[in-house]
Amino acid sequence: MRQIALIDANDKANYVQWFRNSSPYINAFRDRTFVIAFGGEMLADAQFAPLVHDLALLNSLGVRLVLVHGARPQIEQRLNEQGIKLNYANDIRITDDEALKCVKQASGSVRVEIEALLSMGVSNTPMDSADIRVASGNYVIAKPIGILDGIDFQHTGEVRRIDDEAIHTHLDEGAIVLLSPLGYSPTGEIFNLTAEDVATAAAIQLQADKLIYLVDNDGVSDGQQLIRELTLAEIEKLSLSEQAKDIQKCLHSAVQVCHSGVPRTHLINRHIDGSILLELFTRDGLGTLITAESFEDTRQAAIDDVGGLLELIEPLEDEGVLVRRSRERLEMEIDHFTVVERDGMIVACAALYPYVKEKMAELACLVVHPDYRKQNRADMLFSYLEKQAKQDGINSIFVLTTRTAHWFQERGFNEIDIKKLPMEKQALYNYQRNSKVFMKKI
Ligand SMILES: CC(C)(COP(=O)(O)OP(=O)(O)OC[C@H]1O[C@@H](n2cnc3c(N)ncnc32)[C@H](O)[C@@H]1OP(=O)(O)O)[C@@H](O)C(=O)NCCC(=O)NCCS
The C-alpha atoms of residue 386 and residue 65 are separated, in whole angstroms, by 29
Last residue of a domain, one of 260, 291, 322: 291
Nearest atom, ligand 1, residue 365 CA: 48
Q: Is the CB of 409 under 6 A from ligand 1?
A: no
Structural domain tally of the chain? 2
Same structural domain, 402 and 431: yes
Cα(379) to ligand 1 centroid in Å equals 9
Which residue's C-alpha comes closest to atom 33 of ligand 1? Answer: 374
Same structural domain, 187 and 305: no
Q: Is the CB of 401 under 6 A from ligand 1?
A: yes
Last residue of a domain, one of 291, 309, 335: 291
The C-alpha atoms of residue 61 and residue 300 are separated, in whole angstroms, by 39
Choice from 407, 433, 435 to test ligand 1 binding pocket (greatest atom count within 8 A of CB): 407
Show pLDDT as tens, one digit a residue, over the chain (442 residues). Answer: 334 445 577 777 777 877 777 777 888 899 999 999 999 999 988 889 889 889 988 998 999 999 999 999 999 999 999 998 888 888 888 999 999 999 999 999 999 999 888 877 555 555 566 678 899 999 999 999 999 889 999 999 999 999 999 999 999 999 999 999 999 999 999 999 999 999 999 999 999 999 999 999 999 998 888 998 888 888 988 888 888 888 999 999 999 999 899 989 999 999 999 999 989 987 667 899 998 765 467 899 999 999 999 999 999 999 888 889 999 999 999 999 999 987 567 999 999 999 999 999 999 999 999 888 887 889 989 999 999 999 999 999 999 998 899 999 999 999 999 999 999 999 988 888 889 999 999 9
Cα(279) to ligand 1 centroid in Å equals 24
Which residue's C-alpha comes closest to atom 14 of ligand 1? Answer: 374
Q: Which residue type occupies 419? A: K
Output b/e per residue, 378-406; b: 16+ Cβ within 10 A. Answer: bbbbbbbbbeebeeeebebbbbbbeeebe
* Burial of 226: CB neighbours in 10 Å, binned 0-12, 13-18, 19+: middle
The C-alpha atoms of residue 49 and residue 42 are separated, in whole angstroms, by 10
Last residue of a domain, one of 254, 273, 291: 291
Same structural domain, 80 and 197: yes
Q: Which residue type occupies 430? A: N
The C-alpha atoms of residue 385 and residue 9 are separated, in whole angstroms, by 37
Q: Is the CB of 404 under 6 A from ligand 1?
A: yes
Same structural domain, 422 and 274: no
Residue 372: give its domain's CATH number. Answer: 3.40.630.30
Q: Is the CB of 30 under 6 A from ligand 1?
A: no
Same structural domain, 331 and 265: no
Nearest atom, ligand 1, residue 403 CA: 23
Q: Which residues contact 228 (CB under 8 A, 6 or more apart)?
A: 219, 284, 285, 287, 288, 289
Q: Among the residues of 61-163, which ranges form H helices?
A: 72-81, 97-119
Which of 298, 278, 297, 295 lies closest to 287, judged by CA?
278
| pLDDT for position 381 | 93
φ/ψ of 6, rounded to 5, equals -80, -20
β-strand 190-192 against 182-184: which pairing, if any? antiparallel
Q: Is the CB of 33 under 6 A from ligand 1?
A: no
| pLDDT for position 415 | 96
φ/ψ of 63, rounded to 5, equals -80, 135
Q: Is the CB of 349 under 6 A from ligand 1?
A: no
Instruction: Give how far Cα 182 sits from Cα of 71, 92, 100, 196, 391, Å.
Output: 10, 15, 10, 12, 45
Same structural domain, 191 and 175: yes
Nearest atom, ligand 1, residue 321 CA: 44
Q: How far apart are the first and last CA of the chain?
A: 34
Cα(188) to ligand 1 centroid in Å equals 47
Same structural domain, 151 and 267: yes
Cα(368) to ligand 1 centroid in Å equals 8
Which residue's C-alpha comes closest to atom 41 of ligand 1? Answer: 367
Nearest atom, ligand 1, residue 406 CA: 25
| pLDDT for position 3 | 43
- Rg from Cα positions in the chain: 25
Which of 169, 193, 295, 172 lies closest to 253, judged by CA?
193
Cα(366) to ligand 1 centroid in Å equals 9
| pLDDT for position 219 | 93
Beta-strand (E) ranges in 110-255?
Answer: 134-135, 140-144, 147-148, 151-152, 157-162, 176-179, 182-184, 190-192, 210-215, 229-231
Same structural domain, 173 and 44: yes
Q: Which residues contact 181 (CB under 8 A, 6 or more apart)?
A: 68, 69, 70, 71, 107, 192, 193, 194, 195, 197, 198
Q: Is the CB of 351 under 6 A from ligand 1?
A: no
The C-alpha atoms of residue 209 and residue 420 are separated, in whole angstroms, by 35
Nearest atom, ligand 1, residue 374 CA: 12
Which of 364, 369, 379 lies closest to 433, judged by CA?
364
Same structural domain, 253 and 326: no
Q: Is the CB of 201 under 6 A from ligand 1?
A: no
The C-alpha atoms of residue 366 and residue 349 are separated, in whole angstroms, by 6
Q: Is the CB of 403 under 6 A from ligand 1?
A: yes
The C-alpha atoms of residue 78 and residue 95 are separated, in whole angstroms, by 14
Which residue's C-alpha comes closest to atom 34 of ligand 1? Answer: 28
Cα(407) to ligand 1 centroid in Å equals 6
Same structural domain, 52 and 184: yes
Which residue's C-alpha comes closest to atom 29 of ligand 1? Answer: 407
Q: Which domain holds residue 223?
A: 2-291
Same structural domain, 130 and 267: yes
Residue 265: give its domain's CATH number. Answer: 3.40.1160.10
Same structural domain, 52 and 98: yes
